[in-house]
Amino acid sequence: MTLADPSTPPDDLIKEGSDAGFMADVVEASRTQPVLVDFWATWCGPCRTLTPMLEKAVRAAGGAVKLVKIDVDKNPAYAGQLRVQSIPTVYAFVNGQPVDGFQGAVPESQLRAFIDKLTGGESANSDIEQLMGMGEESLALNDLGGAAQAFAQVLTLEPGHEGAVAGMARVYLADGDLDQARQTIAMAPADSKNAQVQSVRAQLSLASTAPTGAGAELEARVAADPSDHQARYDLSLAQAAAGDLKGAVDSLLAIVAADREWNDQAARKQLLTVFDAAGAASDVARDGRRRLSSILFA
């Protein structure tokens, strides 16, 4: 399956400008939507800090605003007309006129507030929420292409969005492409606290420990000897790798109920990984934790 590239930026939201194109790219374009003009230069240290944050904020605004970057060394005319005294300087144009601006590198929170003020608060937050919902719904329906497209759009609007990174990884997991799922989830910070990211990493951990034996063979071994905890444990690994997390929980709880100390409490420890894979708020995790507590504290 060919999935969308989440690194592709929206068309025409961000562009390199010039004096020759200023009227079309800034003045005329601002008659249909606000345009930010970033006056910068290659030798300007603060520009190297501000410009990437500006690009991120503009993408996060989801098309509510555009950004035109003007190198003042190569294009001094409009910088002079607008009396740019120092760089970076950012002007906001609306309806063909400069209406607001600031100088110097500012925090991301201030950039977001600047854009929200300019657009009346029309940020991409609602679009992102809607797209994430579409992605989740598509995944639930096993529409992997639709899910991938929705999550990729979120990453276009907000590169690095951890929920969307996890969503793309889950698409690859559902498609059986473990290598691509690992590469995708690596886009999230290693110390991420995002529950969806942790869930995917737990699922990949489960998949990597799956036994080579077929689930049917392991089920037969357990049926023949219910006290064969190793066979039941291996069965739980196979169930988890196949996505049957509830079945894996049932198998592991059966081991804990029979011998909670078996193999240095391996079943209880594996249960925690399965709960993480299912998600802390899932029915599988909540019911499993309740049943585990009943066994341990009976």
What is the C-alpha to C-alpha distance for residues 18 and 36, in angstroms, rounded to an integer? Answer: 14
Distance from C-alpha of 14 to C-alpha of 131, rounded to nearest angstrom: 22
Task: Name the one residue in this structure whose structure tokens are 């060919």.
Answer: 2
Verify whether residue 190 is a known catalytic residue: no
From the list 14, 44, 152, 166, the catalytic residue is 44
> Out of 3, 14, 36, 47, which one is annotated catalytic?
47
Q: What string of DSSP letters covers 164-175?
A: HHHHHHHHHHHT
| Residue 146 is among the residues annotated as catalytic for this protein | no
Query: Within 10 A of 225 (CB to CB), how many other CB atoms are there?
Result: 11
List the strands of the sheet with 35-40, edge to edge: 14-16, 66-71, 35-40, 89-94, 97-103
Strand partners for 90: 38, 102
Spatial CA neighbour of 148 closest among 136, 157, 159, 160: 136
Instruction: Just list the catalytic residues.
Output: 44, 47
